[in-house]
C-alpha cells in the first residue's frame, strides 16, 4: 500500500463522525452489566473503583498511600478501561455506519398485491409491512420491490445499487438461477410478477442489518477459548497478588525494617500482570473481521463462518466463472470423415440460431467469420427450435424441407451418441477420437448431428483466468487444498485442472456428488468452503462449513449458505478465506504481543513495588527508573496507552501473507513476540523520564 493510500485509510478510520460517537459510547460502556462481559477488563474496572475509593479516603486524611500517587494511578486505570471500550466502540461504529447505509435502503412502500399469478388479475394496494410469505405481487417499471421473493412471471431490469453498491442493472426473470429479487431494489424496465418468500422482519435486508450491527455479534468458538485462557491467567495472577500482601507483611515483621506495598501498588501490579492488551482489543478484532467482510461486499450471517473461513482446509470452486472466464467460445469446426467443414458450420449455425447462450451465439459468429454464413430468417425455414434441457443435454432445430423433415442437434458427445444410435446411426471411432482430442486440450467438444448422421465436432474453448494459478499456489503454501467442480467430462476437467494448477477436480458433478465430497472431507476432520447460486447447490451449501451464496442466486441457496456475496463473484471465496485468515492472524499476533508485553512490564513494576520491603530487589531494576512510584505509574500509563496505539492494527488487521503455519509462527515470534518484549522497555523508560522531569517522585 502506498503512503498516500495508507494515510487516507487512517483518516477514514479516525473520521470524526466515527470518533465522537465512539468516545460517548466508551463512557456508556462503563455500566457494570456491560463490563462484566469482558472478565479481564472487569478486574481493571474493579481496580479503578477501589483506587478511586482510596483516593476519597485520602482526602479525609486516611492515606493508604500518597494521595497524588493514588490519584494518578486511579485516573490511568480508568483510562485503561475507557481505551478498551473505545476500541470496541470504534469497531462497532464502523459496522453501525454500514448498517445505517443499509437501513436507508429499507423503505415502506405500497405493494400491488395480485389475486393469482396472472398479471391481469385483480390488484389490491397494500402496505409492504403487511406482506406475508406466499403473497403474489406485481412490480412494474419505476416501482420499488417491496419484499424478498422469487419471480414467477415476466422479466425486468433491476437496479440493485442499494444492496450491492453496483450501478449496473441486472436482469431478473422467472425460472433458473436469476429469479431471486431483494426488497429495497428497484425495477427499471418491464414488469415482473413475484411471490413473497419471507415474513416481515425476516427479509434479507433485515438480516444484513442485524448481522452488521457489531453489538449483536456472537463470540466465536476460538474467541471463547482465548477468553477462557485469558480469564485463567487473570485468576492465577489475582491469587498471586492477593497473597503478596501477607507475605510482605510477614517479611517486614521478620526483618524488622521496611514497609509492605500499598494496596494501590498491588492493584497496579495486578493490572500490569494480567493480559489487558489483548483483552481490551479482542472484541474489536472480532467486530472488525465482520466489518472487513462487509467492505468486501460479503454479508456473513454468522461470526462462526468468518472464523471458519480462516481455518478452511479445502476449497471447492466452480470451474466456470471462477477458474475460467466462462462464456465458452466456439473456436474450431472439426468435421467428420467425408463431411466438409462448410457443411458442419452450416448445420451448427442452424442448430444455434435460437440459442441465446454465449456458446450458441459464438457458433453463429464463427460460422459467419469462417464461411460468411449469414443468419437466416426463421420464418422461411419452417423451423421449430428444440431447447436445451438437463435431461437431454442437447438442443437444436427441427426443419421442414419440402416433404422431408430434418432434425439438427448439437450437444454433449454421450447424448448425441445415444440419440444417433437410437435412430440406427453409427457414432464412429473417428468422432470418438476427435472428441477425445478436443477434451485433452481442455476444451469442450460439442457434437453436431443431422438426424442419424454425425457431422463433426465444434470446439468450445474456456480460458483459464490470468493469475489464478499463482493464487492456488499461495493457497497450497497455506495448506489449503483446492478442488475444481465442473459438469464437464473427466478429460476436459483434467486438462483445465492441470492448466489452472488445482489440487483435484470433480467432473460431471451432481448435487449428490458435491454433498458426498464435502462429507468425505469433513469426516477427515477438515473444514470445507464452497460457493453456489442454484437450488441444486443448496444441499452442499447447507453441509459446507463456509458456504457463500451468490446474491443473484435462488432464495434456497441464500438460505442454505452462511454468507452472501452481494457482487455474485465466485472468485470472492478466495478473498473471504484471506479475510478469515487475516482475522485469526491479527488475533494471534496481538495475543503474542500482549503476553510478551506483560513479561517486559514485570521488570519495571516488580522491583519498584517491593523495593521498600526487599531492598535486594533493586538489583532487578535494570531499567534504572527514577523512583518506585514513577516506575509503577509509568507501567500503568504504558499499559493504557498501548491499547490506543494498537487500535488501528486491530481494526485494519495485520498485513496478510500467504505463508504456512510454521512460517507464520516464526514471524509472529520475531515481530510481535520480540516487539512485545522491547517496546515496553522503551515506552516505560520514556514515560518515567517525562515524570521525573516534571518532578514526580
Catalytic residue among 148, 318, 346, 545: 318
Cα angle for residues 26, 32, 38 (degrees, 5° grid):
75
Q: Is 545 a catalytic residue?
A: no
Rounded alpha-carbon distances, angstroms, from residue 454 to 432, 445, 446: 11, 13, 11
Lookup: cell for 69: 500517587
Residue with cell 483466468: 465
* 389 belongs to an annotated ligand binding site: yes
Lookup: cell for 657: 501473507
* 376 belongs to an annotated ligand binding site: no
Rounded alpha-carbon distances, angstroms, from residue 176 to 150, 151, 153, 180, 499: 10, 10, 12, 9, 30
Cα angle for residues 346, 496, 487 (degrees, 5° grid):
70
* 537 belongs to an annotated ligand binding site: yes
Q: How many CB atoms lie within 10 A of CB 694?
A: 7
Judge contact between 165 and 125, C-beta under 8 A: no
Rounded alpha-carbon distances, angstroms, from residue 441 to 91, 437, 444, 482: 50, 7, 9, 21
* 394 belongs to an annotated ligand binding site: yes
Lookup: cell for 167: 450501478
Dist CA 606 CA 45 (whole Å): 22
254 three-class SS: helix
* 391 belongs to an annotated ligand binding site: yes
Lookup: cell for 54: 482510596
Phi, psi of 540 (to 5 degrees): -70, -40
Dist CA 639 CA 676 (whole Å): 12
* 393 belongs to an annotated ligand binding site: yes
Longest dimension (CA), the chain: 125
* 390 belongs to an annotated ligand binding site: yes
* 508 belongs to an annotated ligand binding site: no
Positive or negative torsion for Cα 557, 560, 564, 569: negative
Dist CA 87 CA 651 (whole Å): 8
* 395 belongs to an annotated ligand binding site: yes
Binding site residues for ATP, as ranges?
355, 359, 388-395, 410
Binding site residues, as ranges?
355, 359, 388-395, 410, 533, 537
Binding site residues for Mg(2+), as ranges?
533, 537
Q: Which residues are catalytic?
A: 318
Amino acid at each position: 500500500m502506498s503512503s498516500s493510500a495508507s494515510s487516507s485509510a487512517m483518516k477514514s478510520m479516525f473520521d470524526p463522525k466515527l470518533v465522537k460517537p465512539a468516545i460517548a459510547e466508551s463512557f456508556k460502556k462503563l455500566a457494570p452489566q456491560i463490563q462484566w462481559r469482558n472478565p479481564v477488563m472487569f478486574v481493571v474496572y474493579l481496580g479503578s473503583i477501589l483506587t478511586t475509593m482510596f483516593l476519597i479516603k485520602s482526602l479525609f486524611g486516611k492515606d493508604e498511600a500518597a494521595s497524588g500517587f493514588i490519584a494518578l494511578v486511579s485516573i490511568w486505570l480508568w483510562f485503561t478501561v475507557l481505551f478498551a471500550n473505545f476500541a470496541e466502540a470504534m469497531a462497532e461504529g464502523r459496522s453501525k455506519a454500514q448498517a445505517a447505509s443499509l437501513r436507508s435502503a429499507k423503505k415502506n412502500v405500497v405493494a400491488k398485491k395480485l389475486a393469482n399469478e396472472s398479471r391481469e388479475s385483480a390488484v389490491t394496494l397494500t402496505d409492504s409491512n403487511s406482506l406475508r410469505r406466499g403473497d403474489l405481487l406485481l412490480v412494474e417499471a419505476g416501482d420499488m420491490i417491496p419484499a424478498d421473493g422469487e419471480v414467477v412471471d415476466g422479466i425486468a431490469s433491476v437496479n440493485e445499487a442499494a444492496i450491492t453498491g453496483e450501478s449496473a442493472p441486472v436482469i431478473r426473470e422467472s425460472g433458473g438461477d436469476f429469479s431471486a429479487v431483494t426488497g429495497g431494489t428497484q425495477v427499471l424496465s418491464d414488469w415482473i410478477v413475484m411471490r413473497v418468500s419471507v415474513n416481515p422482519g425476516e427479509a434479507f435486508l433485515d438480516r444484513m442489518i442485524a448481522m452488521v450491527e457489531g453489538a449483536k455479534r456472537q463470540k466465536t468458538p476460538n474467541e471463547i477459548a482465548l477468553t477462557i485462557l485469558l480469564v485463567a491467567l487473570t485468576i492465577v495472577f489475582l491469587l498471586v497478588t492477593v497473597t503478596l500482601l501477607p507475605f510482605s507483611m510477614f517479611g517486614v515483621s521478620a526483618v524488622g525494617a521496611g514497609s509492605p506495598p500499598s494496596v494501590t501498588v498491588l492493584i497496579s501490579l495486578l493490572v500490569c500482570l494480567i493480559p489487558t492488551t489483548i483483552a481490551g482489543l479482542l472484541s474489536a478484532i472480532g467486530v472488525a473481521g465482520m466489518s472487513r467482510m462487509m467492505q468486501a461486499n460479503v454479508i456473513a450471517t454468522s461470526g462462526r463462518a468468518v472464523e471458519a473461513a480462516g481455518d478452511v482446509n479445502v476449497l471447492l470452486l466452480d470451474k466456470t466463472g471462477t477458474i475460467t472466464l466462462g462464456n465458452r467460445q466456439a473456436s474450431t469446426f472439426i468435421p467428420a470423415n467425408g463431411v466438409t467443414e462448410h457443411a458442419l458450420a452450416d448445420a451448427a449455425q442452424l442448430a444455434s440460431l435460437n440459442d441465446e447462450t454465449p456458446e450458441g451465439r459464438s457458433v453463429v459468429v464463427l460460422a459467419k467469420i469462417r464461411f460468411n454464413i449469414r443468419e437466416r430468417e426463421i420464418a422461411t425455414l419452417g423451423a421449430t427450435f428444440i431447447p436445451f434441457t438437463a435431461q437431454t443435454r442437447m438442443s437444436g432445430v427441427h426443419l421442414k424441407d419440402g416433404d422431408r423433415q430434418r432434425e439438427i442437434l448439437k450437444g454433449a458427445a454421450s447424448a448425441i451418441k445415444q440419440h444417433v444410435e437410437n435412430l440406427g446411426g453409427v457414432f464412429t471411432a473417428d468422432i470418438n477420437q476427435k472428441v477425445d482430442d478436443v477434451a485433452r486440450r481442455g476444451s469442450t467438444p460439442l457434437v453436431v448431428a443431422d438426424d442419424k448422421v454425425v457431422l463433426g465436432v465444434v470446439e468450445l474453448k474456456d480460458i483459464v483466468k490470468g493469475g489464478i494459478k499463482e493464487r492456488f499456489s499461495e493457497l497450497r503454501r497455506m495448506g489449503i487444498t483446492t478442488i475444481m467442480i465442473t459438469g464437464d467430462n473427466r478429460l476436459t476437467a483434467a486438462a483445465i485442472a492441470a492448466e489452472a494448477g488445482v489440487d483435484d477436480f470433480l467432473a460431471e458433478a451432481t448435487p449428490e456428488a458435491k454433498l458426498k465430497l464435502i462429507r468425505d472431507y469433513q469426516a477427515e476432520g477438515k473444514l470445507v468452503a464452497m460457493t453456489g447460486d442454484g437450488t441444486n447447490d443448496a444441499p452442499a451449501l447447507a453441509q459446507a462449513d463456509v458456504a457463500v451464496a451468490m446474491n443473484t442466486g435462488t432464495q434456497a441457496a441464500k438460505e442454505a449458505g452462511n454468507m452472501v456475496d452481494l457482487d455474485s463473484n465466485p472468485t470472492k471465496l478466495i478473498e473471504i478465506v484471506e479475510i478469515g485468515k487475516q482475522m485469526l492472524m491479527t488475533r494471534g499476533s496481538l495475543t503474542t504481543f500482549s503476553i510478551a508485553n506483560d513479561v517486559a512490564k514485570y521488570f519495571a513494576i516488580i522491583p519498584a513495588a517491593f523495593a521498600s520491603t526487599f531492598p535486594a530487589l533493586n538489583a532487578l531494576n535494570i531499567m534504572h527508573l527514577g523512583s518506585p512510584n514513577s516506575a509503577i505509574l509509568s507501567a500503568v500509563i504504558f499499559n493504557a496507552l498501548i491499547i490506543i496505539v494498537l487500535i488501528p492494527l486491530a481494526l485494519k488487521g495485520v498485513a496478510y501473507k500467504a505463508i504456512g503455519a510454521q512460517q507464520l509462527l516464526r514471524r509472529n515470534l520475531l515481530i510481535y513476540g520480540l516487539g512485545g518484549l522491547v517496546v515496553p522497555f522503551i515506552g516505560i523508560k520514556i514515560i518515567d523520564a517525562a515524570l521525573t522531569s516534571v518532578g514526580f517522585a
